[in-house]
Amino acid sequence: MWLNISMLVPKDKTFIGYTLVDITSTGVIRNDTGKDLERNQQRNWETVLQCIGIRSQPIDISWREDTVKLDSYEFGEMYQGEHRVWSFAFTVEHSGVFGDAQDPVKLLHADFDEVPIVPYLTETARFLLPVFYTAGAIKNIYFKIPDLGVNI
């Protein structure tokens, strides 16, 4: 379920991330036979939450997955055309924990850069290495502060 952030919290406490990595939250936390895909998707989701949690506790977390054309997204030039994109939104309790007024997400990008992932799940994009990249031609994850009043 997506939330309308205009009614929730101040703009500098709400963030949205976009990734080409399968971060589906499956709730599978044990290595059960026949659940390898779901467990690995959950591992990637847990990695996202742990990286965010380095600096702040994420609250009001939501996510979604869509297959879209990447024209209006900010992924690296290596990724073009139509791909599956996972979006996730979250809030934090304190302002300025992930950056400053010039770049309010710079520390999120630093914390996520080159963090290992489990690849080859249900992604349509292929990655040179199994890690999150936050910059350059192979950027596969990035963060923004959403505009107020926008459904995320």
Which tens digits make up the pLDDT trace of 51-97? 999 999 999 999 999 999 999 999 999 999 999 999 999 999 998 99
How many residues are listed for the chain in this entry?
152
Cα distances from 83 to residues 37, 71, 134, 147, in angstroms, run: 19, 11, 18, 24
Mean pLDDT of the chain: 91
Q: How confident is the model at residue 1 (pLDDT cuts 50, 70, 90)?
A: very low
Work out the average pLDDT over 127-144.
97
Cα distances from 121 to residues 22, 99, 126, 130, 142, in angstroms, run: 6, 32, 10, 11, 20
Closest CA to 143 of 72, 65, 75: 75
* Cα(93)–Cα(115) distance, integer angstroms: 24
The residue type found at 78 is M
* Cα(32)–Cα(56) distance, integer angstroms: 31
Q: Residue 23 CB: number of other CB atoms within 10 A?
A: 27
Instruction: State the number of CA atoms in the 13 A half-sphere of 104 facing the CB.
Output: 15
The whole model's pTM is what? 0.89
pLDDT of 148 higher than 70 = no
pLDDT of 5 higher than 90 = no
